[in-house]
Amino acid sequence: MLENGNTIGEPKDGILKKQGEKMTIGIPRALLYYRYQYLWKTFFTRLGCNVVISAPTSQNMLARGIALSVGECCLPVKIFMGHVASLLGRCDYILIPRFETLGKGEEFCVRFWGLPDIVHNTFPDAPILSYNLQDHKRGSEMQGFWQIGLRLGKSPAQTVAAYRRGVQEQLRQDCLVREKQELLLAASGLKVLFAAQSYLIHDGYVGAPLIRMIEEQGGVPVFADRCDPMTCRASAKTLSQDLYWTVNKEIIGAIPLTKKEVDGVLLITAFPCGTDSLVNELVLRRVRDIPIAQIVLDEQQGESGLQTRMECFMDILSERRRSHA
């Protein structure tokens, strides 16, 4: 069936010829790359493949992405399409996984369900390598990587070992950034929690200016996606009972978790993000005891508007700290 990862996106001509050579896997630097990058990189390197990661987002790339996607799509998907386009022709396969769920009550935004289909309909010739992240019955992460390994012609033992290594590496790196963040949280200075999707705030083109502005104003940026995801998901229950989007849980769960340590919260979202449109509204209505602002990013923004808002926000935070002290 098409649902399984091993039959979709059959290799195109020319790829099979290169069996002896090292295979090149392209990874778009967008969306859940920021969540799984070490897993993906380690896995493919261990399997003896070259890994090409698309360059950081640029004006051109975004313009390309906008031209390639339906106008109503959200900004991160447009960026994603730009990255995919930049990888075409530079690699044998492009990794575009499909994320559906991590288990009961844990879902990804529907957008991630459709990524392989959007790409293969936009670029009919793109060599897509995909795995399907579903619950354990229908296909766990492990099974997905197993199938990728088989498709690349690697032995099961090699695949499993590479996957194990990948998971370890991902965990190690996550721990490292978490420890760094703990140190930041303990430091003095005006700490601003960025409650945003990791692919938005860590993107070099749309998110980086915000971080830079906060730093220029003397603030210390801390990130919701660098808190412990399990704890965050649990603490998200205190804000919203019904929430089922995993990524959003991890983001808003960080707010009650770090409320004591940070001075203010910035909810960053992209126009028109489906999950954020509901969740952020609820957060704005339920979180009352800490300064909180929502910033909506879109493809036509100028920096000066953002700059003004950031300055205002930082002024409020510093005034508030002074009056409380």
Task: Please provide the size of the chain in residues.
Answer: 325
Nearer to other proteins, 161 or 296 (CB): 296
How far apart CA 137 and CA 290 sit, in angstroms, is: 42
Q: Residue 297: in which H helix or E strand, if any? A: strand 292-297
Shortest distance (Å) from residue 231 CB to other proteins: 22
Q: CB-based burial of residue 53 (10 Å sphere; 0-12 exposed, 13-18 middle, 19+ buried)? A: middle
Toward other proteins, which CB reaches closer, 53 or 296?
Answer: 296
Nearer to other proteins, 78 or 226 (CB): 78
The nearer residue to other proteins, 159 or 275, going by C-beta atoms, is 275
Q: What CA–CA distance (Å, rounded) separates 308 from 315? A: 11
Q: Is the CB of 39 or the CB of 77 nearer to other proteins? A: 77
User: In whole angstroms, how close is the CB of 281 to other proteins at the nearest point?
Assistant: 4
Nearer of residues 120 and 320 to other proteins, judged by Cβ: 120
Residue with tokens 């409650």: 195
Q: Which residues bind other proteins (CB under 8 A)?
A: 2-3, 8, 70, 72-74, 98, 105, 109-111, 113-114, 116-118, 120-122, 124, 132, 240-245, 271-275, 277-282, 285-286, 296
**Which residue, 29 or 111, is less far from other proteins as judged by CB?**
111
Report in angstroms how near the CB of residue 109 gets to other proteins at its nearest: 7
281's CB contacts (< 8 A; 6+ apart) are none
- Closest separation in Å from C-beta 287 to other proteins: 12
Q: Which helix (H) or strand (E) holds 202?
A: none
Give the whole-angstrom CA distance, residue 75 versus residue 77: 5
Q: Please give the C-alpha separations between residue 46 and each of 127, 157, 162, in angstroms, as whole numbers.
A: 21, 12, 5
Q: CB-based contacts of 153: which residues, under 8 Å, 6+ apart?
A: 19
- Cβ–Cβ under 8 Å, residues 255 and 195: yes
Q: What whole-number distance in Å separates Cα of residue 301 and Cα of residue 307?
A: 11
CB 5 within 8 A of CB 130: yes
Residue 6 buriedness (CB in 10 A; 0-12 / 13-18 / 19+): middle
Q: Alpha-carbon Rg of the chain, whole angstroms? A: 20
Copy the structure tokens of residue 150: 């088989």
In the complex, the smallest distance separating the C-beta of residue 252 from other proteins, rounded to whole angstroms, is: 12
User: Whole-number minimum distance, CB 179 to other proteins, in Å?
Assistant: 33
CB of 40 to other proteins, least distance (A): 20
Q: How far is the CB of 279 from other proteins (least distance, A)?
A: 8
CB-wise, 42 or 248, nearer to other proteins? 248
